[in-house]
Structure 1
């Protein structure tokens, strides 16, 4: 835990997704709430999308952070803001309206299972 998912529209060819994933993971580590090895991130490119009633010159990046329940609303807000700050630091096109969003979701502890296989090589 946590699980981080970036969904982004395919009309952002300059979006450095690998760099963004690394920067977002580093922000989560810096928060002090997560161990580096526990962060699982992935990116999903969205080819079919609509923003409002048009997709012309419009794009979005939506980060979903799923964490175990029990953290205060203040901590969830701080996590959301820090991830949004990382997204804002990326290079964005000037002629495209890009919406950046971050959502923090809770996973019930009693419904989450985790196991390790193999050793961690540093």
Structure 2
């Protein structure tokens, strides 16, 4: 834990998904809430989307961070703010699109979440 899912509209032509995910992971690690190895991130480019009723020239980036339940509202607010700040930095340059940036925190029930790790052979 945590799991970060970054969804973005393909019209943004996000060139380097790996770099964006790495920057978001660093922001999460910098929060002090997670061990570095536990942060898992992936990106999904959306081919089909509609924003409002005039989709031309519009785009969005939505970061969903799934966490084990139990963190305070303040910690969750700090995490969503850190993600949003990093997204603003990434998409701060000139754009041909009106871009909406979102960050969402989702609680995962600790009692039903299962995890195991397999270490590399030495």
* Per-residue CA distance 1:16-60 (angstroms, 9 max, x = gap): 322110011001111000000001100001000000112200000
> Which residue of 2 is the match for residue 74 of structure 1?
74
Q: Pick which of 92-101 and 104-113 moved more.
A: 92-101
Matches within 5 A, 1:1-122: 1-91=1-91, 92-119=93-120
Query: Aligned equivalents of 1:16 and 1:33: distance in 2?
Result: 26
**TM-score, length of structure 2 as denominator length:** 0.93
Q: Is the 8 A contact 1:15 1:90 kept in 2?
A: no
SS where residue 11 of structure 2 aligns?
coil
Counting matched residue pairs gives 121
SS where residue 61 of structure 2 aligns?
strand
* Per-residue CA distance 1:38-95 (angstroms, 9 max, x = gap): 0110000100000011220000000000000000000000000000000001145422
> Quick one: structure 1 residues 90 and 13, their matched pair in 2 at CA, closer, same or farther if it must change by over 3 Å?
same
SS where residue 64 of structure 1 aligns?
strand
Query: Aligned equivalents of 1:61 and 1:14: distance in 2?
Result: 10
SS where residue 4 of structure 1 aligns?
strand
Query: Aligned equivalents of 1:41 and 1:107: distance in 2?
Result: 16
SS where residue 67 of structure 1 aligns?
strand
Q: Where do 5+ consecutive residues of structure 2 fail to align?
A: none
Q: CA RMSD in A?
A: 1.6
SS where residue 12 of structure 2 aligns?
coil
